[in-house]
Amino acid sequence: MSSLVQKYNVAGPRYTSYPTVPYWEENSFTKSDWESSVIKSIKESNQKEGISLYIHLPFCEAMCTFCGCNKRITVNHNVELPYISNVLKEWSLYLALLDETPIISELHLGGGTPTFFSPENLQILIDGIFKNAHKAKNAALSYEGHPNNTTKEHLKTLFELGFNRVSYGVQDYNLEVQKAIHRVQPFENVLNATLNAREIGYTSVGHDLIYGLPFQKKEHVIHTIKQTIALKPDRIAFYSYAFVPWIKGNGQRGFSQDNLPSPDEKRAQYEIGKKMLEDAGYIEIGMDHFALASDELNIAMETKKLHRNFMGYSSSSTQAMIGLGVSSISDSWYGFSQNVKSITEYKKLLDQDQIPVYRGHLLNNEDLIIRKHILNLMCHFETQWEKNGELYFKEIPDILISLKEMEEDGLLILESNGISVTEKGRPFVRNICMAFDLRLKRKKPNTQLFSMTI
């Protein structure tokens, strides 16, 4: 495995979208095209499963120095209500585009830290969203909770509002690693947050773990996974640490590349973690995720209904995903857009009755086909096409030639009308997707844009 790690450890996208954000054609994107694509997509989604809504709640009380998310650090909770009223204003601007009431089948509160907000204020937010929207039967409502500040009141209020899934950031249980990443979080806090959620009736509790963190060693991963298994969360995200210090203002600091485990050590951390999770009955879902057999993510994988979007893996494949809040990304299937990142700018645009999007991309036919292949690979570890059929494109023969070496390395099997990724090739799925990424191939980046694939 070691030589494969060395060979394939390159900078590469995580493919939460295709085209990936640095390859969006921002110059040809207009807000009016974006709005038209949203109207079309919501109309189509309303006929099917409904839409997804992502709401970005950016505040955190303290800065974890490993974190790559878009966040604002403050201890001033007076920021909550003005922010909520901006998010509701943004939602009203989307509603004004439509001549029908949207059906929400998936809603996720992400951050930052959604549980920074008081339960009362989160209730105001959710009531405001559903005032002019229908909730689909079996809608999946979920949020990210910080184990250090998710109270019983948060859990109860959100459960009564229809939330039945919560995921907690755990990362690593070793105190030295926690100190290095400025996130001291005792096991008891995760234990209480998990038990409280179960007692209240949440059907899915998730834990987020990371391997490859600064100063993290294999024994820390083993200890963390043991502690995690003891609490038996329904889902576990086991993320590869993304070190992206060049992203402006993300706060990754206090350590350097030298403090990170080597690519081989990092791979060994993943391998041992994966084995322990599988031995404990977890099933690997796509990339970075594990779930118990009973969890909907696993059922979706088995029935080939697994989907991937900016929120990660999901069991419902909604076509339209509207992202509200600073820096949120929306996906109408025909296009992507991203909101401004500054809260001041966000408010300013909303005060002018403008949807606060600052960049985006409209997909052409080639993008739509490649997007399907990349989704297939990321979700099902295989993809197929028919010669001259809907998913065929003229570069396929060249792609097959470029994948020959990966086949020789045992990472995939090439067929005349498709490819399938082998068990050995799964850790390299990002590299395999890169072979289909024509935009990346046509214009190689001059500087490092993406985290390393391993």
Ligand X SMILES: C[S@@+](CC[C@H](N)C(=O)[O-])C[C@H]1O[C@@H](n2cnc3c(N)ncnc32)[C@H](O)[C@@H]1O
Mark 241-260 with x for binding to ligand SF4 (rule: CB under 6 A) and - for no binding.
--------------------
Backbone phi, psi, residue 114, to 5°: -55, -35
Mark 168-207 with x for binding to ligand SF4 (rule: CB under 6 A) and - for no binding.
-x--------------------------------------
The count of chain residues that interact with ligand X, using the rule CB under 6 A, is 17
Kindly state whether residue 56 participates in binding ligand SF4, applying the rule CB under 6 A.
no
Token digits for 248?
A: 């402006």
Kindly state whether residue 144 participates in binding ligand X, applying the rule CB under 6 A.
yes
Q: Which is nearer to ligand SF4, 113 or 338 (CB)?
A: 113
Q: Which is nearer to ligand SF4, 71 or 361 (CB)?
A: 71
Kindly state whether residue 114 participates in binding ligand SF4, applying the rule CB under 6 A.
no
Mark 93-122 with x for binding to ligand X (rule: CB under 6 A) and - for no binding.
-----------------xx-x---------
DSSP for 244-258, written as a single string: -TTSTT----S--GG
Tell me how far, at minimum, the Cβ of 358 lies from ligand X, in Å: 21
Backbone phi, psi, residue 412, to 5°: -155, 170
Kindly state whether residue 171 participates in binding ligand X, applying the rule CB under 6 A.
yes
CA distance 345 to 188: 40
CA distance 68 to 428: 22
Please give the single-letter amino acid code of residue 384: Q
Kindly state whether residue 111 participates in binding ligand SF4, applying the rule CB under 6 A.
yes
**Binding span for ligand SF4 by CB under 6 A among 98-106, 107-115, 340-348, 379-387:** 107-115
Tell me how far, at minimum, the Cβ of 219 lies from ligand SF4, in Å: 23
- Applying CB under 6 A, which of residues 21, 42, 57, 67 lies at the interface with ligand SF4? 67
235 vs 9, 204, 282, CA distance in Å? 27, 7, 8
The number of beta carbons lying within 10 Å of the beta carbon of residue 430 is 24
Please give the single-letter amino acid code of residue 348: K
Look at the alpha carbons of 10, 421, 20, 208 in this order and tell me if their dihedral is positive or negative: negative
Tell me how far, at minimum, the Cβ of 70 lies from ligand X, in Å: 9
Among ligand X, ligand SF4, none, what binds residue 242 when CB lies within 5 to 8 Å by partner kind?
ligand X
> Which residues 228-267 are close enough to bind ligand X by CB under 6 A?
239, 241-242
Kindly state whether residue 286 participates in binding ligand X, applying the rule CB under 6 A.
no
Q: Which is nearer to ligand SF4, 208 or 382 (CB)?
A: 208
> Which residues 27-86 are close enough to bind ligand X by CB under 6 A?
60, 66-69
Backbone phi, psi, residue 113, to 5°: -125, 100
Kindly state whether residue 11 participates in binding ligand X, applying the rule CB under 6 A.
no
Half-sphere exposure of 298 (CA within 13 A, CB side): 14
Among ligand SF4, ligand X, none, what binds residue 208 when CB lies within 5 to 8 Å by partner kind?
ligand X
**Binding span for ligand SF4 by CB under 6 A among 62-70, 310-318, 334-342, 386-394:** 62-70
The number of beta carbons lying within 10 Å of the beta carbon of residue 410 is 12
- Applying CB under 6 A, which of residues 37, 52, 105, 113 lies at the interface with ligand SF4? 113
Please give the single-letter amino acid code of residue 314: S
452 vs 5, 15, 263, 449, CA distance in Å? 11, 13, 9, 10
Backbone phi, psi, residue 362, to 5°: -105, 130
Nearest-CA neighbor of 213 among 249, 185, 239, 193? 239
**Cβ(68)–Cβ(208) below 8 Å:** no
Kindly state whether residue 71 participates in binding ligand SF4, applying the rule CB under 6 A.
yes
Tell me how far, at minimum, the Cβ of 195 lies from ligand X, in Å: 17
Backbone phi, psi, residue 402, to 5°: -70, -20
Rg value, the chain, Cα: 21
DSSP summary character for residue 78: G
Token digits for 292?
A: 């118990």
The number of beta carbons lying within 10 Å of the beta carbon of residue 343 is 18
**Binding span for ligand SF4 by CB under 6 A among 4-12, 111-119, 192-200, 266-274:** 111-119
CA distance 343 to 366: 35
Q: Which is nearer to ligand X, 60 or 297 (CB)?
A: 60
Among ligand SF4, ligand X, none, what binds residue 72 when CB lies within 5 to 8 Å by partner kind?
none
Chain residues that interact with ligand X, rule: CB under 6 A: 60, 66-69, 110-111, 113, 144, 146, 169, 171, 208, 210, 239, 241-242
Chain residues that interact with ligand SF4, rule: CB under 6 A: 60, 63-64, 67, 69, 71, 111-113, 146, 169
